[in-house]
């Protein structure tokens, strides 16, 4: 019963948002004794631990770090402090600003009289938000340092790989040794009312797709390579970090990446977390853009057929010079140079654009036909018959799954 009560209590805390937004970041600003003391005394910091990171060898200790402090053959670890903090009580921005003001980040492999690569200035981040704030604040602080006559910032900004706690006697050293070594290496240059400019995105209005990704997310990279890099649809698609969203109304809690979000006028309509196969993505785009109850969606994904001489056919049968794109993926499927009037009531082409479609045997409804499918989106386009003039093939295509683009617009884009 106690376990059940504890579980319910924790569930309530999580559901009401009362659990602290705990984050971890690691700073290197010279001898870690003073750095640890500085951050431990900041309100909102839960714990500060001295240690080592940033090197290329395993299991460093104080002796090996000192041994390699002047080495040019091996990447040494630096003396750092791992800071665990409650972001609801101290912002990441305030914490990183405090780091810059704590020491002189222009000295390279030293801080004051402490010389060696183990004393180099460094920030090791654990999420994309920390990375962006670190990089943006560095640019801002560089301007302030330049005004004060200081040189170029040499701070290392990298993702945290592995943190090695320092020996026990180094932990809380100045608490145990109140008169211990604790030099002040700060430049005296402080942030005032400067605003750190972090890249954000706001709703475009209308329908749009946002892909939330993260650094070192292999499924994000795979989704980018297989899907978003090839996407040419007319629904705008952008990729961003979770913290960059401003002004969007989310109903889904983002708990993994990639997360694909479909918005209309800034309000979430649909979301998918995790890797999404190409065909599944385009089916979701079809439902989002066309509507699941629309004729176009019914044709594309339920293998239905436009009505003969339908409204969209009438709009497309006499267009000027140009191409017809897949309404879902944006791929060019047919060219007006291959179009002809078959008087059938459906758009007719002698052929499709090379490599844009797939032909598949279709024996449905007691007939033997060849189905034409959009290669990328998987949308049903129509059928191909051997009854065109001159003994050629007739690609009989549904108009509701296409979009027309004048050739002059394509040429204009190519020049831009």
Question: Which residues form the catalytic set?
Answer: 31
Q: How far is CA 134 from the centre of its chain?
A: 18
Q: What percent of the chain is helix, strand and coil (3-state, nearest 5)?
A: 30, 25, 40
Alpha helix segments (H runs only) across 191-277: 218-226
Q: At 413, give phi and psi (nearest 5°).
A: -60, -40
Q: How many CB atoms are located within 10 Å of the residue 351 CB?
A: 16
Q: How far is CA 378 from the centre of its chain?
A: 26
Q: Which helix (H) or strand (E) holds 84?
A: strand 78-86
Decide if 95 contacts 40 (C-beta within 8 A): no
- Residues 38 and 81: their CA atoms lie apart, in Å, by 10
| Tokens (6 digits) for 132 | 């962006």
CA dihedral 126, 131, 137, 142 (to 10 degrees): 110
């Amino acid at each position: 019963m106690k376990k059940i009560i504890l579980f319910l209590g924790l569930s309530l805390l999580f559901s009401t948002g009362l659990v602290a937004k705990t984050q971890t970041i690691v700073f290197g600003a010279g001898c870690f004794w003073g750095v640890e003391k500085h951050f431990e005394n900041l309100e909102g910091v839960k714990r500060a631990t001295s240690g080592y990171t940033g090197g290329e060898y395993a299991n460093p200790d104080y002796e090996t770090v000192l041994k390699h402090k002047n080495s040019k053959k091996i990447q040494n670890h630096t003396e750092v402090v791992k800071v665990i903090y409650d972001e609801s009580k101290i912002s990441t921005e305030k914490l990183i600003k405090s780091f810059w003001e704590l020491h002189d980040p222009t000295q390279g492999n030293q801080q004051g009289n402490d010389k060696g690569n183990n004393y180099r200035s460094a920030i090791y981040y654990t999420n994309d938000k920390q990375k962006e704030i670190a990089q943006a604040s560095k640019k801002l602080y560089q301007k302030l340092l330049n005004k004060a006559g200081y040189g170029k910032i040499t701070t290392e900004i990298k993702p945290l790989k592995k943190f090695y706690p320092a020996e026990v006697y180094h932990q809380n050293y100045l608490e145990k040794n109140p008169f211990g070594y604790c030099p002040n290496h700060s430049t005296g240059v402080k942030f005032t009312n400067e605003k750190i400019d972090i890249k954000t995105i706001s709703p475009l209005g209308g329908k749009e797709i946002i892909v939330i990704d993260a650094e070192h997310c292999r499924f994000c990279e795979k989704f980018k390579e297989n899907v978003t890099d090839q996407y040419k649809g007319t629904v705008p698609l952008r990729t961003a970090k979770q913290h960059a969203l401003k002004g969007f109304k989310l109903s889904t809690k983002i708990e993994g990446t990639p997360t694909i979000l479909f918005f209309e006028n800034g309000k979430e309509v649909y979301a998918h977390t995790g890797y999404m196969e190409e065909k599944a993505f385009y089916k979701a785009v079809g439902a989002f853009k066309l509507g699941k109850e629309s004729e176009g969606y019914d044709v594309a994904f339920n293998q239905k057929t436009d009505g003969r001489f339908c409204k969209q056919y009438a709009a497309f049968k006499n267009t000027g010079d140009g191409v017809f794109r897949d309404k879902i993926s944006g791929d060019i499927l047919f060219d007006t140079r291959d179009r002809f009037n078959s008087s059938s009531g459906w758009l007719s082409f002698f052929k499709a654009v090379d490599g844009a479609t797939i032909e598949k045997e279709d024996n449905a409804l007691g007939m033997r036909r060849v189905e034409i499918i959009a290669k990328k989106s998987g949308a049903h386009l129509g059928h191909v018959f051997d009854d065109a003039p001159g003994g050629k093939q007739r690609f009989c295509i549904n108009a509701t799954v296409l979009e027309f683009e004048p050739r002059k617009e394509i040429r204009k884009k190519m020049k831009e």
